[in-house]
Amino acid sequence: EKWAATRPKYPPTTLALQHFDTAYSAELGQLWPSVRVALLSERKYGALLNNFSHHDVQADLEVQGCRDFVSSADKEAQPCLQEESSCVAVRESDVGAKQQSPLPLSLNIKCVVFPRGDITRFKPARPDMHGLLGYYLMDAASVLPCLALDVQEGHSVLDLCAAPGGKTLALLQTQAIRFLCVNDASVSRTSRLRKVLHSYVPKQFLTDGNLRITSFDGTKWGEIERNSFDRVLIDVPCTTDRHSLMEDDNNIFSKSRIGERRRLPQLQLELLLAGIEAACPGGEIMYSTCTLSQIQNQSVVEQAICLSRENHGIRLEVVDLRPLTHMFKKTFHFAPSLHLGEMVIPHLAANFGPIYMCKLKRLT
């Protein structure tokens, strides 16, 4: 092999690190070194429990020292969360802060994690007697946008950029969705997504009547279907910071993909705009990424709010997710005081994220 001869002087992972050093030391300041070392070290996973599986994996995993971070959320910060209560809600507990309405969360989503500082890895999930896997390993912070989307009984939901399907699976755990639209522009990734769904969800939940899987360009969704979904998840393609630092293959920082990388914020904006249009008035939209970049996060949301009003006359309200950060501060590190949305930042003792999320509600 002559990899040594063909290896570029600056591999994409190096270029990514140089880029992040400049951008993120400006954005995160003092926090950057601590986030940097976490990004460059082994990440932690969470096991999204599959309610459709017959294995009692939760008990098994708890014996190994894991716990469901959702149900063990900080009770102080959410006085009305009780074990059997259907009211999973939080009230801003900060004294002096203006009274906020409770933040409702999607129900029945469970994700177990090893405790803070524990670096034990999960074993691969095994199939039960029906061939369904007991859990799906994913970044535990990726569960937060799904929780915060607040899927309720009878909702129709659109997952606009869904492959490989981790968040789709989380949404399906609620068993509340009347109709789910799953889309991803990439045909090969869509077929991967299909496989994932079939390894986790029984066939009767995957009929044409309750599920549609498509491979459209999400930016064009507005031409297909407007004002129709109660909930829309837009988990956009981004610089996937962790991946870009660790893997030279398929890296968006490689020289040949400079154009694609530069166009990301525009693509993200168009996807978000399409998602907003697809939601019904009163419907809720979750924008999420796995990058720390302000340009791909807050700036995209800001522009989308503006353009939705100017071009489509859609008025939007930003939903305050601070209660969420209070509830889950024992499990995740959140970036302090973003002016728009919330962000889980990696930390060695809780090496999840980065996950940015911002929730919007369509007023008109």
Partner 1 sequence: PLPSAQHNNALRPTAGMPDSALSLPSLVDMGFTDAQAEQIHEAVCKVRGGSATKHALSTLTALFGLGFNPSSVLKMLQKCPELYTVRESQLQQCINYLRKLGLVEGSLQRTLAHYPQILTVPVKTIKHVVLLLREKCLFTVQQVADIFRDSPAIVLEDLSQTEYKFQYVYFRMGIKQAEMVKTRLFRFTLDEVRCRHCFLERRGLYQTPDKRGQTSIINPKLDSILKIDLDTYLSEIANASAEEYDVFQRLMARECQEQDQQYDSIEAD
Ligand X SMILES: C[S@@+](CC[C@H](N)C(=O)[O-])C[C@H]1O[C@@H](n2cnc3c(N)ncnc32)[C@H](O)[C@@H]1O
Q: With respect to ligand X, which residue has the nearer C-beta, 134 or 166?
A: 166
For ligand X, which residue has the nearest CB? 218
> 290 an active-site residue?
yes
Joined together, the tokens standing for residue 362 give: 């369509």
DSSP at 125: P
Residues near ligand X (CB under 6 A) are 142, 160-167, 183-186, 189, 217-219, 235, 237
**Do the strands 229-235 and 342-344 form a parallel or antiparallel pair, or are they unpaired?**
unpaired
| Contact positions with partner 1 (CB under 8 A) in 229-268 | none
User: Which single residue is written with the structure tokens 């199939």?
Assistant: 127
Q: Does 349 sit near partner 1 (CB under 8 A)?
A: yes
Joined together, the tokens standing for residue 357 give: 């999320």
Q: Does 25 sit near partner 1 (CB under 8 A)?
A: yes
Residue 349 Cβ vs partner 1, minimum distance, rounded to whole Å: 5
Site string for partner 1, 78-117 (x = CB under 8 A): ---------------------------------------x
Torsion angle defined by CA atoms of residues 316, 290, 22 and 15, in that order, rounded to the nearest 10 degrees = -140
Residue 43 Cβ vs ligand X, minimum distance, rounded to whole Å: 15
Contact 279, 362 (CB under 8 A): yes
Backbone φ, ψ for residue 138 (5° rounding): -155, 170
Catalytic residue among 66, 146, 181, 290, which?
A: 290
What's the rounded Cα separation, in Å, for the pair 120 and 118?
Answer: 6
Q: Does 34 sit near partner 1 (CB under 8 A)?
A: yes
Q: Which of 176, 280, 307, 348 binds partner 1 (CB under 8 A)?
A: 348
Joined together, the tokens standing for residue 299 give: 């700036």
- By a kind-dependent CB cut-off of 5 to 8 A, residue 182 interacts, out of ligand X, partner 1, none, with none
Residue 129, Cβ density class (10 Å: 0-12 exposed, 13-18 middle, ≥19 buried): exposed
| Contact positions with partner 1 (CB under 8 A) in 117-156 | 117, 119
Mind telling me the catalytic residues?
290
